[in-house]
């Protein structure tokens, strides 16, 4: 019987030979996989880690958050060599998934997504956000330093460059507040290399109150007392939070209007406005928002700074990644399409996935952050 399963060997007289052959094949397969696949992966991780570490040694901790952009630039250099072609996913009719719950959530939980991009990235990166996960946002807006009516993008009154990301973010949220406040319940910022699974974001937010002063994302524990959220993994502001940001938050006494590291500055601003961070892990303690791509979170091999920053212990492996993950960062344009394929199209035949109940009551760390907690800059 065992012989039957292995290489179709049926006769017991051939069993020993078949067994030996199978073991041999398995071993050669393993050797081949490790030499051809594993090594480059490990090298890539090491390369990324070294990049970050050299940044760390040359910079103060405060500035580390800004190194994300350097990482982006590094990726851009590699990216610009081969142009990514759009993949069309127009085979919905072939799918038999029951999406009634997701459609209901999409009606009830309206999310405005705004994507931070720049004029040079529209055709390289932003377009692939638009063609993949972006279409599942209730409303999708691209902000850049230049208005482009074709794409379209909204141009903000800010120069391009890492040192102006805070300005871009502050202006974008103000614009969103002034023009689209009534059109959504939650307001999300993403980079043009972040991938979102909007159904899972809506599921998570279904356990949250948009009238609370809260915001969610991948939690870093440094710099700001209540911590702050990584810019690259994306963050989501409640309606009440957006209101505070667009009113009191316009005062430089509470929020820096430009300069510094965007995510850390927004973190200070949030704390000054009495907006709370909260634990967004799932019922099993697994992260939903991720600063890196899925491979990095599965295997670990994080850059050194991450161990100091991550509020959830920089865990790796499947136990630390929610089945209902919401976001991944450093996603190359081509990987947006493969994620799209894996998440929405590839199905193992004969397995029907049921919904799990993975939300839990989220506890705020700083129930009481008030404006008197203002961080000194």
Ligand X SMILES: *[C@@H]1O[C@H](CO)[C@@H](O)[C@H](O)[C@H]1NC(C)=O
Binding footprint of ligand X on the chain (CB under 6 A)? 119, 122-123, 148, 150-151, 157, 219, 279, 281, 285, 311-312, 367-368
Min dist. Cβ of residue 150 to ligand X (A): 4
Q: Given the DSSP bridges, would you call strands 186-191 and 111-116 parallel, antiparallel or unpaired?
A: parallel
Residue number with CB closer to ligand X (22 or 148): 148
**Whole-number minimum distance, CB 221 to ligand X, in Å?**
7
Of 77 and 367, CB closest to ligand X: 367
Close Cβ partners of 154 (under 8 Å, ≥ 6 residues apart): 141, 142, 143, 144, 147, 172, 175
Q: Which is nearer to ligand X, 105 or 320 (CB)?
A: 320
Q: Which is nearer to ligand X, 55 or 228 (CB)?
A: 228
CB of 37 to ligand X, least distance (A): 32
**3 vs 260 by CB, closer to ligand X:** 260
Return the closest-CA partner of residue 105 out of 216, 203, 204, 239.
203
Residue 148 — φ and ψ, nearest 5°? -135, 110
**SS3 of residue 370 by DSSP:** coil
Tell the smallest beta-carbon distance from residue 271 to ligand X (Å): 14
Minimal distance in Å, beta carbon 370 to ligand X? 7
> Of 207 and 368, which CB lies nearer to ligand X in the complex structure?
368
Residue-wise over 99-122: b if at least 16 C-beta within 10 A, else e?
Answer: eeebeebbeebbbbbbbbbbbebb
Write down the least CB distance from residue 149 to ligand X, Å. Answer: 8
- DSSP one-letter code for 35: I
CB-facing half-sphere around the CA of 307: CA atoms within 13 A: 8
Q: In the structure encoding, which two tokens stand for residue 352, read together?
A: 């029907």
- Closest residue to ligand X in the complex (CB): 285
């Amino acid at each position: 019987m065992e012989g039957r399963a292995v290489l179709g060997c049926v006769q017991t007289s051939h069993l020993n030979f078949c067994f030996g052959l199978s073991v041999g094949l398995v071993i050669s397969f393993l050797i081949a996989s490790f030499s051809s696949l594993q090594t480059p992966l490990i090298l890539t991780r090491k390369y990324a880690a070294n990049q970050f570490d050299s940044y760390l040694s040359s910079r103060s901790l405060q500035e580390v958050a800004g190194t994300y952009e350097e990482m982006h630039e590094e990726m851009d250099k590699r990216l610009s060599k081969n142009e990514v072609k759009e993949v069309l996913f127009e085979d919905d009719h072939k799918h038999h998934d029951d999406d009634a719950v997701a459609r209901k959530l999409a009606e009830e939980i309206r999310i405005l997504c705004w994507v931070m991009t720049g004029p040079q990235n529209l055709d390289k990166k932003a377009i692939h956000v638009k063609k993949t996960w972006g279409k599942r946002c209730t409303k999708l807006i691209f902000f850049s330093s230049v208005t482009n009516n074709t794409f379209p993008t909204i141009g903000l009154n800010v120069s391009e460059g890492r040192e102006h990301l805070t300005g871009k973010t502050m202006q974008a949220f103000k614009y969103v507040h002034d023009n689209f406040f009534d059109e959504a319940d939650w307001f999300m910022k993403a980079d043009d290399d972040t991938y979102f699974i909007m159904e899972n974001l809506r599921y998570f937010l279904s356990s949250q109150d948009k009238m609370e002063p809260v915001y969610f994302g991948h939690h870093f524990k440094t710099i700001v007392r209540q911590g702050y959220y990584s810019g690259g993994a994306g963050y989501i502001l409640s309606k009440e939070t957006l209101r505070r940001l667009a009113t009191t938050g316009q005062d430089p006494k509470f929020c820096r209007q430009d300069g510094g590291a965007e995510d850390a500055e927004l973190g200070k601003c949030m704390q000054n406005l009495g907006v709370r961070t909260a634990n967004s892990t799932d019922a099993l303690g697994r992260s939903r928002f991720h600063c890196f791509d899925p491979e990095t979170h599965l295997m670990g091999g994080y850059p050194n700074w991450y161990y100091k920053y991550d509020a959830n212990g920089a865990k790796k492996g499947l136990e630390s990644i929610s089945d209902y993950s919401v976001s991944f960062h450093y996603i190359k344009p081509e990987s947006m399409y493969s994620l799209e394929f894996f998440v929405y199209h590839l199905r193992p035949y004969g397995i029907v996935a049921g919904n799990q109940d993975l939300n839990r009551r989220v506890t705020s760390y700083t129930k009481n952050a008030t404006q008197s907690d203002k961080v000194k800059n």
